Amino acid sequence: MDNNKNPEILYKYRCWDDDHPYDKRVLTHSEIFFSSPANFNDPFDCRITPRYDRMSEEDFYRLMEIRLRKAYPNTNDTEVANYIDQERNRGKHKDEKFFAEGKKRFEEDTCHEAGICSMTLDPENILMWSHYSNAHTGFCIGFDYKLLDDFLFEISSGIELLLDIKKVKYPREYPLLEPKPDESPEIIINVFINKADDWKYEKEYRVISIGRTNFSIVLNNTIIKSVILGSQMPLSKKNEIIAVLRNRGLKVELFQAYKKEYGFSLEFERIQY
């Protein structure tokens, strides 16, 4: 996990309507969804390609060998050596077309082999309420960071996935990602946690899955700590959420968001239910 001080609560903005059934399931089933990066609205997000063209020739062919053995585990040492020699003779290490094709394959593989569940530090952001909670008619749910972190660590080995929480970085300059010949998952994670500086207002954390995409996991109910109802949420939807909390016996703090009377900000009022 990150070495910096971890937050107490992470939040996720959601809608509460029939057009977004999966959004409701975070409350009705304690379920979070890991989406493919292919679904993201930012064409730069998760599209940072490691600079394989900057690798030394030795590291480049070592990485090629590792990938060959992973893709074809029954290949013997002689066959591997012959293949690498052929690629050396073709000059793959200096082939621009080879790297262009490799960049495309990397992006495709990333979209098919990883999933992301986005969260945030900030439950008060007016833009995110507008964009991700259907113009403030949805809700925002709070998760206990430590309990979520422990839960992900516990289940990772059981489902043979790498599940981790990472803080997103917002560099001003395009990141230079130097690949390593040992094919460490860290290079993939760095692709997922670097976003353009334009997005820094989101204060995003990402729950990342390496090895699977477009799937859900069900959390322990204790991980859910709070629910904030949007300032424009209709009374009928508010009553539906309260009924879900009661019927499921979820022990969470419930708040109603209001527009501050003299300011561009929100205020939260505790609701007893």
**pLDDT, tens digit, 9 for 90 and up, residues 60-112:** 888 889 888 988 999 999 999 999 999 888 888 888 888 888 888 888 888 88
CA gap 49, 41 in Å, rounded: 18
Residue ranges of the chain with per-residue pLDDT less than 50: 1-2
Nearest in space to 152 (alpha carbons), one of 227, 228, 205:
205
Q: Of 117, 119, 113, 118, which Cα lies nearest the Cα of 210? A: 113
Strand partners, 34: 215
Q: What pLDDT, on the 0 to 100 scale, is given for residue 1?
A: 45
Domain ranges of the chain: 9-46+112-271
Enter the pTM of the model.
0.87
pLDDT of residue 93: 85
196 is written with which tokens?
């353009």
From CA 210, how far away is CA 217, in angstroms rounded? 14
Strands 139-144 and 224-229: antiparallel
What are the residues facing 139 on neighbouring strands?
14, 229
Structure tokens at 12: 């996720």
Q: What's the pLDDT score for residue 123?
A: 98
Which amino acid, residue 154?
E
Q: What is the pLDDT of residue 199?
A: 97
